[in-house]
Amino acid sequence: MLEVTDLTVAYGPIEAVRSVSFTVQAGTVATLIGPNGAGKSSTLNALSGVAPQRCGRILLEGQDISRWSVHRRVAAGLVQVPEGRLVLAGMSVRENLELGAYRRPRTEVAADLERMEVRFPILRERRNAAAGTLSGGEQQMLAIARGLMARPKLLLLDEPSLGLAPLLVRTVFEIVTELRNSGLTILLVEQNARQALNVSSFGYVIENGKIVIEGPADKLRSDPAIIRTYLGQGV
C-alpha cells in the first residue's frame, strides 16, 4: 500500500526526519513508536503533504505522490487524523463529518453518515451539538469518523490516545482493531507503545529522525531493548 524511500523532512535548517525508509502492507496496521520529538508526527505530516518534504519518494499503491497537493492525496485515499484531534469547534458534529467527505458526491455521503453514527453512537446523540462541547474522547471519535468519511485506503492516525483516560484509550484501540479487521490499512503513531504494538502487524522505532529498529510487532514486544525503553520492566 505504501512505500517510503529516503524521506527527509526539514523545517528550515533543522532536519526532523532523516532518510527514513519503510513500507506498510495493505490490510495491516503498522506503527511508528519512539520518544517525543523523534520525528513520528513529522513523518505522518510529510506523507499527507502538510509538512515540508526535502527529499525522498512516497509511493501509494505504486504511484509516486511525493509532489502531490494535500487534497490530491486525500482524493487518492491517503487520509490523516491529526494529533490533538483538531475538530472545528464552532461547527456541529454533523458538519464536521460532512466536511470529511467534501470531495465526494453528495449522493454517497448520506449513507456514510448513517454508518458513522452506527459505528459511533455518541455522534448520533450529539449530531447537532458544537464539536467544541464534546469531551476529549468524543472529539477523538469524531476526528476518526471524519477521516473515515473520506473513504481512505490508508489512514494515518497520529496519537489517537493522547490525553484520554485509560477507559477511553481502550475504546480507541478497540476501534483501531475493528478498522484493521475490516481490511483498512493504518499507519499509527502512538506514545502508548504497548497498545500500539498489540494492534499492529509490524513496527518501526524512530529516534532522532531515523528508524533504528524494525520488525514484526510480536518480536518487538519481546525485544529486551524495546521492553526496557518503551514498555517498562517486567513485561
Tell which residue, 25, 153, 162, has the closest CA to residue 85.
Answer: 162
How confident is the model at residue 235, as a pLDDT?
A: 37
Domain segments of the chain as ranges: 2-84+150-231
Determine the residue type at 51.
Answer: A
CB 174 within 8 A of CB 150: no
How confident is the model at residue 232, as a pLDDT?
A: 63
Which grid coordinates belong to 14? Answer: 533543522
CB 144 within 8 A of CB 160: yes
- Distance between alpha carbon 231 and the CA centroid of its chain, in Å? 21
Coil/strand/helix, residue 164: coil
Domain spanning 2-84+150-231: CATH superfamily? P-loop containing nucleotide triphosphate hydrolases (3.40.50.300)
Partners of 79 in the β-ladder:
155
- Distance between alpha carbon 182 and the CA centroid of its chain, in Å? 16
Q: Is the pTM here over 0.85, yes or no?
A: yes
**pLDDT of the chain, 235 residues: tens digit per residue:** 999 999 999 998 889 999 999 999 999 999 999 888 889 999 999 999 999 899 999 999 999 999 999 999 999 999 999 887 788 889 999 999 998 888 777 777 888 898 898 889 889 999 999 999 998 889 988 999 999 999 999 999 999 988 888 888 888 899 999 999 999 999 999 888 888 999 999 999 999 999 999 999 999 988 888 887 877 654 3
- The Cα 60–Cα 79 span in angstroms is 12
